[in-house]
Amino acid sequence: MAEEIRLVFHNQGLRSYIEVDLCRKCPRQDDKGCCGYYSPVFYLCDFAYMLKNRADLVDYVFSLPNLTVLDASVTINSAPDGASYRCQFHTSEKGCLLPQQLRESVCRHFVCPGIAWEKEEGLKDWKLFFEQIGEYEINLNQRLADSFSSRGLSLRDFRQRAEIFNELAAEFDELTGTAPDFFSTRPLREEFVIYRELTFGQDWKL
């Protein structure tokens, strides 16, 4: 029998996200689902949002072990855990410890292929919206990265991080002062129900 799956799409501009009620009883049945196979990567737009809303999280990210720090991004590498991995923000009891808006873009947008909401004709406007958000965010991250790089500033050098984070919020505001038209093409929140046949354990594809 097909399972009823409730999806909630949230239009919050750059911090838009998708909620899926199936995640609470993920068919993977390993208490981690897709989070057991991913290491989140935070880019400059994510840090700009943190600086404005949870500045303490920036220091927390840099205090974590097993980071890959590049010029304009930080990967929080997951640790081996049983047959898969465990993201450093994940707990068995509560799932992801980060509120949706503080997660990076893959974590805000990803829905596993078993659900495949993009195939629903009635959701094509949301599909386009999330594609546009993805492109817009990549472009912003690149422009911010180019700006710091042109001044010889890199997150790799811990002595330069304070200067980058002092200037980041203002640069981000300058680039995003005028919201793109597509931001207003979707409602703030829209809920849909779709039906899918479930498979379990490793048979539920990620």
58 binds ligand SF4 (CB under 6 A): no
Residue 90 sits in the site that holds ligand SF4 (CB under 6 A) = yes
Q: Choose which of 22, 48, 61, 164 interacts with ligand SF4 (CB under 6 A).
A: 22
Region binding ligand SF4 by CB under 6 A among candidate stretches 63-71, 87-95, 153-161, 183-191:
87-95
Report if residue 74 touches ligand SF4, rule: CB under 6 A: no
Looking at 98, 169, 175, 198, which residue binds ligand SF4 (CB under 6 A)?
98
Contact between 35 and 96 under an 8 Å Cβ cutoff? The reply is: yes
Judged by CB under 6 A, the residue of 107, 123, 168, 194 near ligand SF4 is 107
* Candidate ranges 83-91, 138-146, 156-164, 181-189; the one touching ligand SF4 (CB under 6 A): 83-91
**8 A C-beta contact, residue 172 and residue 144:** yes
Nearer to ligand SF4, 13 or 37 (CB): 37
Residues 6+ apart with CB under 8 A from 27: 114, 198, 199, 200, 201, 204
CA separation for the pair 47, 102 (Å, rounded):
9
Give kind and range of the element (H or E) at residue 10.
strand 3-10
> Cα(73)–Cα(92) distance, rounded to whole angstroms?
27
